[in-house]
């Protein structure tokens, strides 16, 4: 494979130069359209605006927003000046945002006002009380010593914050040659993105991804879907995930296609966008596709322009895949397997693979990426069709976890193999299947949830003695979160009290859907808690409740 060996900023400008008038980003619900050339101009002004307020190479800039039009402007602007974009999950609440602000040494945070039931402005003013009395760009925060600027993504003015319009204006007066100089110094092996993924330790870890990691992964992902400049990708997945940035934006950028964006997922808006913009590709996790083809107004839309796309993020149900092929015209739908640490793709099915392989497997390894199945205990490679841990090595492996060398060593071995923690097989023809997980992770509708993080939070409730969190099988999401709780003697806490506490502290998708108050946990002979027994018990208890 011929690897792209340049920075995202330089590569983007080359793609712009090929055809600056080709549509790059479209928001169909508000008829907002940017050609490659128009978008590049906007990116340059924001990049220079960031330089003007003191953001420069190596600085960490957070973005906490749904898929608003300027999310991608920030992504490309930070890439051009060699800054690192730290993506913040839109569902995060104060507990999680505080951790990411601190752990990432964030210098600036770009944010919107709110999302669903989370008021971002209120949270940031609570976490950074100095904001209201500080001069913009010169924030001195006791709790976040690196944080200097908060940027509001939008028109409104908030105390202590810049807004995007002001930065664009500052940038338009800033010398071009300074931007050119800094762009020339950015290397493809520099970190461009930091995405937080929960760890088994319960604390999210900042996965450092380079320009080379994400550009080349995007190139392979677009190749497997046979993308060209005529492809128009309908894009309802969040940008803060690798699914958004790499499978979406990088795959389209490397093939000079068009992104048809949605700010948030809404099945009706997806159907309307495909119909209106004649999209050729559609992405989503299984629950999204199911919500689309079961929508009561499904038949009103013409989806015949669709050809391909990606269903990924959790195990893809066979029936859902078939519906997407037959009813939604995505006869070349593919699936990708990977994890954030692999930026993120290791394997993908090809549009030319027979349907049964596209439904039952996650395809073959990408060029430039070695993938193998090993014995989890001995690390020895296993013969075909034998279950073991899936590992990969190549250009796509992350640089590491930010400021966590020990954690990094646990997942990348001395020979450079990244250990996924997932179990699977590889057949004689090189097709991989995922069969389970070594780690305790729960995947709820495409969102990775680590039990340890929720257990540690619930243990902060004074009346709680012990907690075990497990995944419970669920028809809609694949899995949902369940918590088994042992209370202190005499405590009169209810299941609802525990859920309410979690709801006030962490993202809604992590909050246990079911809480079971129990007297003890099932143990092994050596005293270890049997999580699989708790999973079985949760199903029994829910059936009884019926």
* pLDDT per position as a tens digit, 445-484: 888 888 878 988 998 999 998 899 999 999 889 899 999 9
In-domain check, residue 313: no
Q: H or E element: which one contains 536? A: helix 531-545
What is the total residue count of the chain?
Answer: 546
Tokens of residue 27, six digits? 């928001």
In the predicted structure, residue 201 carries a pLDDT above the cut 60: no
pLDDT for res 200: 42
What are the strands, taking DSSP E only, across 377-519? 388-394, 400-401, 418-426, 432-437, 442-444, 447-449, 464-474, 478-487, 514-517
The CATH number assigned to the domain holding 188 equals 3.40.50.12780
Q: For 256-270, 365-379, 485-499, 518-532, which range has the lowest pLDDT when averaged over its residues?
A: 518-532
Could you tell me if 230 and 47 are in contact, meaning their C-beta atoms sit under 8 angstroms apart? no
Residues whose CB falls within 8 Å of the CB of residue 424, separated by 6 or more in sequence, listed in order: 362, 373, 387, 388, 390, 432, 433, 434, 435
- Count: domains in the chain: 2
Final residue in a domain of this structure, among 175, 195, 215:
195
In-domain check, residue 352: no
Residue 431 — pLDDT band, cuts 50, 70, 90? very high
Final residue in a domain of this structure, among 143, 167, 195:
195
Instruction: Please write the tens of the pLDDT for every residue from 94-122.
Output: 989 999 999 999 999 999 999 998 999 99
Q: Give the percent of the chain with pLDDT over 90.
A: 83
The CATH number assigned to the domain holding 515 equals 3.30.300.30
Q: Which domain holds residue 52?
A: 8-13+32-195
Instruction: Please write the tens of the pLDDT for every residue from 151-172.
Output: 999 999 999 999 999 999 999 9
pLDDT for res 525: 59
In-domain check, residue 102: yes
From the list 199, 87, 104, the residue with the least C-alpha distance to 453 is 199
In the predicted structure, residue 293 carries a pLDDT above the cut 80: yes
User: Distances from the Cα of 73 to the Cαs of 65, 77, 184, 411, 468, in angstroms?
Assistant: 12, 6, 19, 33, 42
pLDDT for res 523: 74
Q: For 221-235, 293-307, 313-327, 350-364, which range has the lowest pLDDT when averaged over its residues?
A: 313-327
Global pTM exceeds 0.85: yes
In the predicted structure, residue 313 carries a pLDDT above the cut 80: no
Tokens of residue 290, six digits? 């199911």
From the list 87, 271, 278, 44, the residue with the least C-alpha distance to 179 is 44
From the list 419, 87, 79, 58, the residue with the least C-alpha distance to 242 is 87
Residue 530 — pLDDT band, cuts 50, 70, 90? confident
In-domain check, residue 472: yes
pLDDT for res 307: 98
Q: How many whole angstroms from its chain centre is CA 356?
A: 28
Query: Which residue in this structure is represented by tokens 């402007």?
Result: 73
Angle (deg, nearest 10), helices 176-184 and 36-52: 90
Final residue in a domain of this structure, among 195, 216, 232:
195
Cα–Cα distance between 546 and 5 in angstroms, integer? 57
In-domain check, residue 213: no
In the predicted structure, residue 361 carries a pLDDT above the cut 50: yes
Tokens of residue 245, six digits? 């940035």
Cα–Cα distance between 149 and 99 in angstroms, integer? 17
In the predicted structure, residue 501 carries a pLDDT above the cut 50: yes
In-domain check, residue 381: no
What are the strands, taking DSSP E only, across 245-376? 258-261, 281-284, 308-311, 332-334, 336-338, 345-348, 364-365, 369-374
What are the strands, taking DSSP E only, across 164-280? 191-197, 205-210, 232-235, 258-261
In the predicted structure, residue 314 carries a pLDDT above the cut 70: no
pLDDT for res 450: 81
> For all residues of the chain together, what is the average pLDDT?
94
pLDDT for res 33: 98
In-domain check, residue 251: no
In-domain check, residue 350: no
């Amino acid at each position: 494979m011929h690897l792209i060996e340049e920075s995202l900023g330089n590569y983007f400008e080359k793609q712009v130069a090929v055809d600056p008038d080709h549509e790059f980003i479209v928001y169909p619900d508000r008829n907002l359209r940017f050609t490659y050339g128009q978008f590049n101009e906007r990116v340059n002004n924001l990049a220079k605006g960031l330089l003007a307020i003191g953001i420069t190479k190596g600085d960490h800039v957070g973005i906490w927003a749904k898929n608003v039009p300027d999310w991608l402007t920030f992504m490309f602007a930070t890439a051009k000046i060699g800054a690192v974009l730290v993506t913040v999950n839109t569902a995060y609440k104060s507990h999680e945002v505080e951790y990411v602000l601190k752990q990432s040494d964030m210098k600036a945070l770009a944010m919107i006002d709110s999302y669903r039931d989370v008021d971002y402005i209120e949270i940031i003013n609570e976490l950074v009380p100095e904001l209201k009395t500080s001069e913009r760009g010169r924030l001195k925060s006791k709790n976040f010593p690196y944080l200097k600027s908060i940027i509001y993504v939008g028109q409104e003015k908030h105390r202590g914050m810049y807004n995007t319009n002001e930065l664009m204006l500052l940038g338009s007066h800033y010398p071009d040659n300074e931007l050119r100089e800094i762009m020339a110094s950015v290397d493809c092996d520099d970190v461009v993105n930091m995405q937080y993924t929960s760890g088994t330790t319960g604390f999210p870890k900042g996965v450092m991804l380079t320009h080379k990691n994400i550009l080349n992964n995007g190139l392979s992902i677009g190749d497997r879907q046979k993308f060209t400049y005529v492809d128009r990708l309908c894009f309802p997945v969040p940008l803060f995930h690798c699914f958004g940035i790499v499978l979406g934006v990088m795959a389209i950028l490397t093939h000079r296609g068009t992104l048809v964006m949605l700010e948030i997922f809404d099945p009706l808006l997806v159907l309307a966008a495909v119909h209106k913009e004649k999209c050729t590709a559609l992405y989503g996790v299984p629950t999204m596709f199911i919500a689309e083809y079961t929508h009561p107004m499904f038949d009103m839309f013409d989806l015949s322009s669709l050809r391909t796309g990606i269903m990924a993020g959790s195990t893809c149900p066979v029936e859902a895949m078939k519906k997407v092929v037959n009813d939604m015209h995505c006869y070349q739908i593919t699936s990708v397997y990977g994890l954030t640490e692999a930026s993120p793709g290791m394997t993908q099915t090809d549009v030319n693979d027979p349907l049964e392989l596209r439904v039952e497997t996650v395809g073959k390894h990408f060029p430039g990426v070695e993938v193998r199945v090993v014995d989890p205990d001995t690390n020895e490679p296993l013969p075909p069709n034998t279950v073991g841990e899936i590992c990969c090595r190549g250009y796509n492996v992350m640089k590491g976890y930010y400021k966590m060398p020990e954690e990094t060593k646990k997942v990348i071995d001395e020979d450079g193999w990244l250990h996924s923690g997932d179990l699977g097989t590889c057949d004689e023809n090189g097709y991989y299947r995922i069969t389970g997980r070594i780690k305790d992770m729960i995947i709820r509708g495409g969102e990775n949830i680590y039990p340890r993080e929720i257990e540690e939070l619930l243990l902060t409730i004074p009346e709680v003695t012990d907690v075990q969190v497990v995944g419970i099988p669920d028809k809609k999401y694949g899995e949902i979160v369940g918590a088994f709780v042992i209370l202190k003697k005499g405590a009169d806490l209810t299941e609802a009290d525990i859920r309410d506490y979690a709801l006030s502290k962490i993202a809604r998708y992590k909050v246990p859907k079911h809480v079971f108050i129990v007297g003890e946990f099932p143990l092994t002979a050596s005293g270890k808690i049997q999580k699989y027994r708790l999973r079985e018990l949760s199903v029994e208890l829910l059936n009884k409740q019926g």
